[in-house]
Amino acid sequence: MAVPLSTYRLQITAGFDLDAAASLVGYLRDLGADWIYLSPLLQAEAGSDHGYDVVDHSVVDPERGGAEALDRLSGAAHRAGLGVLVDIVPNHMGVATPRHNSWWWDLLQNGQQSRYAEAFDVDWAFGHGKIRIPVLGDGPAELDRLELVDGELRYFDNRFPVAAGTADDGASPAEVHERQHYELVNWRRADAELNYRRFFAVNSLAGIRVEVPWVFEESHREILRWLREGLVQGLRVDHPDGLADPAGYLEALRLATNGCYVLVEKILEGPEQLPTSWATAGTTGYDALADVDRVLVDPAGRDALDALESRLHGDPAATWATLVYRNKRDVADGILHSEVQRIARLLPNSAADDVIADLTAEALADLLAWFPVYRSYLPLGLESLQEAARRSAAHRPELAAELNRLLPLLGDPGHPAAMRFQQTSGMVMAKGVEDRAYYRFSRLTSLNEVGADPDEFTVTLAEFHHRQRTRQAGFPHSMTTLSTHDTKRGEDVRARISVLAEIPAEWEVALEQLRAAHPLGDAPFENLLWQAIIGAWPAGRERLSAYALKAAREAGTSTTWTSQNIEFETKLDHLVTAVTEPGPTRDLATNLVSRVQPAGWSNSLSLKLMQLTMPGVPDVYQGSELWESSLVDPDNRRSVDYELRQRLLARIDSGWLPPVDETGAAKLLVTCRALRLRRDWAELFTRYAAVPVFGAAATHAVAFDRGGAITLATRLPIGLLAGGGWGNTTIGVAGRGYMDVLTGERFTGPILRVADLLARYPVALLIPAEGNRRATDTPTGRHA
C-alpha cells in the first residue's frame, strides 16, 4: 500500500477544474507536497462548488474537466513523483434536480417497482406507498400551481416524472399528481413527516443504501477504475457515520481496492478512539487540529472568559454541557424529528398506542440528546448508549421505565431500530452542536471547531505530548490538518482569537466598547461575531456580511433561516458597514487587531510547524501556506492566488528569509521547509519523544523529537514578552551539531539556548548537521 508523506488539498470546481489543478503540479512538488488531495470528482449538481451532491456515479464531472482531464492531472502528478488522493461520497446523492439524477428520477417515476427502490432508504409504509418530496410553498392551494408540460409535472422550476399511463385521460395536473408514486408536500412537513433518509437535514441529499452489494458496485465502479488504472492511489471517505455498517463498508472497500490507502472523515469526541478493526489508515485530522489549537491557549484566561460568558448569557448555569443537551434536544424535536419517529416505528408497541408511541419518541429524543459521541458501532460503543440512558433517567425520571425497555433493543446490533439509532445520533450531534451550539457559545471561539470540544479550554504540554505518542503508536498514517472546506474558521483566524485568552481583561473592555457602539441585543452572539471580525481582519464588507448573516441564522437566537428577523438583520448589516468603513468603530477594531496581530502570527507559525511535523500525514489546505483568514463556507472555498505563492516561493528558494508580516511569506517558508524535509528525509520522522526544556520560560516552548528532526515552537507569546523573554531557557539535545532548516543557522548541543534558536522566527526545525546536504536547497522532487 502506497502511503503519502503529506498531502495538499484542492477544491475542484467548474472555475478551478482538473486542468487548472494539473497546472499547479510543479508548484506543489516544489512546495514539498507528496500527494495531491482532491475534492469529490463524480458528476454533481450543476454549479456545485463542493461536489458532495453527486448525481451520477458513472462519470467524472464534465464541469470539473471530465475523465480526460483526470487522466492529464494524474499523468502530470505521477511524472512529478506525486500521488493522488480523492474524496468520495458513499452515503448520499444529490436530488435537488431530479432530472439530473437517473436513479432518483426512476424511483419517483416507478415507486416501489423501481430498480432503485432498494438503493434509496425510504419508509414506504409511512408514506402510504409514496415518497414525500417537501417542495411546496405555504400558499393555500399550492397543488393548483402544478403544470403538465412535455410529459412532466412542473412546480415553478421543479420538474418531476409522470408514471406511465397516469396522464392520458385529460386529467388536471393536480389529479395526475394524485396518481404518482411521490407526494409533493409543504416544505415545513420535512421536519416530522419525511420518509426518506437524508444527509443531516438537507432535503436535497438523499441517503443511499451502500450496504446493498449491487448499490456498492454501481456507485463505486468508476472510482475503482481510477484505482485499477493507477490514476488514483488513495481515497478519503466522506461521512462514514451515516452508513448502516461503516466497518462492513470499509472492509468491502479494502477488498475492492486491494487495500489502498483510505481515510475516513470521522470526528472523535474527547478520548474516543477510532475502532482498530476498521480497514482505514485513520481520520482526516480534526483530532490533531484540536490538539495543536489548545496547546497554544493560555489556561490562566479561563476563569475571566468563563465569567464573561456567564454575564453575556445572563445565566450562571449556561455551561457548554447544558447548551449541547438543549440544542441537540431542539434538533431531535425539530428538524430531525422525522428520523426520531422512524426509529420509533421500528420498535415494538410504538405504533399501536399513541401514548406509548409518544413516550417512545420522547425517550429516543432524550437518548439522542445525551449521547456523548457521534455514534456507536455495535457492539463497540454500547457503553455510550448506557451512559446516555443514565443521564436521561437522572434528568427525566419519568422516562426511566421506557429507557429500560428500549436499551436491550437499541443495544442489539441486529435490531433495525439499533441500526437506525446509530445512523441518527451523528446527525443530531452535527446539527445540534456544530451547526447550532458552536454559534451560541462564545467564550473563546477558536475552540468552537469541527471535531473539537469547546469545553476543553486548553491542553497541557504533558497531555499534548501524550496524545502525540498515542497517535504515533496507534495510527501513524492518520491525517493531520489545520483548515478544511468544513472548518468554521481558518487556522490563522483561530490562532489570533486564541491570543484573547492571554488578555481577557483587555478583550472584555474592548468588547464592551464595540457592543455599546453597535448593540444587537444578543450578547453572546455579539461576542462571537466580534471575535470573528478581529480574527479575520482585514476582511471586506462582502465577506464579513455573508459570515455575520450565516452565523446569526445558524445560532438561531435572534433570527433564523426559516423566520428572518428583519430588524435584527438590518442592525447586523449596519454593524458590518460601520466596521468596514472609516470611522470610530473601525478604529476600535483595528486598534485591537494591532494589539493581538503579532502574537497571532507567532501562534500561526507555531501551529503550522507543529502540525506539519507531528505524527501523522500532514495536509495543507489550499492556499494555507500563506495566512488563512477564511471564515465558514463558502468563504473557505474562495479562489487562491497561486501566482503570488509561486513568486514568493521562488524568492525563498533564492535565499530570502522573509519577515513575519502581512504577506504571510514566513508561513510559506515554514511550510515548504517542513514538507520537503518530511518528503526527502523521511528517516528523521520515525518516532515521537518530548524534548526537555529548562529555565524560567520553559512553559512557553513546545519541543519534540521525531527521530532526528526536532520541532521547537513558541506558545503564549504575550506572556513570554511580559516575563522578559526567553532569558536562560534551554533545550536538551544530543551532543552534536544541528542546523535549523528554516534559517540555515548551525548550533552545537547538548544544551541549546532557546533565545538563539528563535532569534529570527518563533519556531525552529532542527536536524543533525553532520553529513547532510542543506535542507534549504531547491527541492529535487524525489518521490519514493
Instruction: State residue 154's pLDDT score.
Output: 96
Instruction: For residue 596, report the phi and psi dihedrals to the nearest 5 degrees.
Output: -100, -15
- CA atoms of 523 and 440, how far apart (whole Å): 10
DSSP designation for 208: B
Residues 6 or more apart in contact with residue 307 via CB below 8 angstroms: none
- CA atoms of 291 and 283, how far apart (whole Å): 14
DSSP designation for 771: T
Alpha-carbon distances, residue 410 vs 207, 345, 431, 506 (angstroms):
21, 13, 22, 50
The residue among 664, 305, 323 whose CA lies nearest residue 498 is 305
- CA atoms of 182 and 179, how far apart (whole Å): 9
Residues 6 or more apart in contact with residue 163 via CB below 8 angstroms: 109, 110, 111, 179, 180, 181
Instruction: State residue 774's pLDDT score.
Output: 46
Cell readout for 173 is 395536473
Which residues in the chain land under pLDDT 50?
350-351, 773-776, 778-784
Instruction: State residue 355's pLDDT score.
Output: 63
**Contact of 468 with 704, CB cutoff 8 Å:** yes
DSSP designation for 315: -
Instruction: State residue 318's pLDDT score.
Output: 73
Half-sphere exposure of 646 (CA within 13 A, CB side): 11
**Contact of 329 with 186, CB cutoff 8 Å:** no
- CA atoms of 531 and 224, how far apart (whole Å): 45
Cα dihedral value 162, 163, 169, 170, nearest 10: -10
- CA atoms of 700 and 716, how far apart (whole Å): 6
Starting at the edge strand found earlier in the chain, the sheet holding 737-740 runs: 689-690, 701-705, 710-714, 763-768, 737-740, 746-748
- For the chain, the residue count is 784
- CA atoms of 420 and 243, how far apart (whole Å): 10
Which residue type occupies 674? A
Half-sphere exposure of 704 (CA within 13 A, CB side): 25
Instruction: State residue 357's pLDDT score.
Output: 73
Say whether the peptide bond before residue 173 is cis (omega within 30 degrees of 0).
no
For every residue of 33-100, DSSP letters joined together read -SEEEE---EEESTT-SS--SEEEEEEE-GGGTHHHHHHHHHHHHHHTT-EEEEEE--SEEE-SSGGG
3-state secondary structure 148-204: EECCEEEECCEEEECCCCCCCCCCCHHHHHHCCCEEEEEHHHHHHHCCECEECCEEE
Angle (deg, nearest 10), helices 584-613 and 665-680: 10
Instruction: State residue 352's pLDDT score.
Output: 52
Instruction: State residue 288's pLDDT score.
Output: 96
- CA atoms of 121 and 323, how far apart (whole Å): 32
The residue among 382, 450, 373, 374 whose CA lies nearest residue 411 is 382
Say whether the peptide bond before residue 538 is cis (omega within 30 degrees of 0).
yes
Instruction: State residue 168's pLDDT score.
Output: 84
The residue among 14, 125, 26, 25 whose CA lies nearest residue 74 is 25
Instruction: State residue 356's pLDDT score.
Output: 65
Instruction: State residue 776's pLDDT score.
Output: 45
Place of cell 502528478: 77
Instruction: State residue 782's pLDDT score.
Output: 38
Q: pTM for the full model?
A: 0.95
> How would you label 315-350 residue by residue, b for 16+ Cβ within 10 Å and e otherwise?
eeebbbeebbbbbbbbbbbebbbbbbbbbbbbbeeb
Cell readout for 227 is 484505482
Cα dihedral value 639, 643, 647, 653, nearest 10: 70
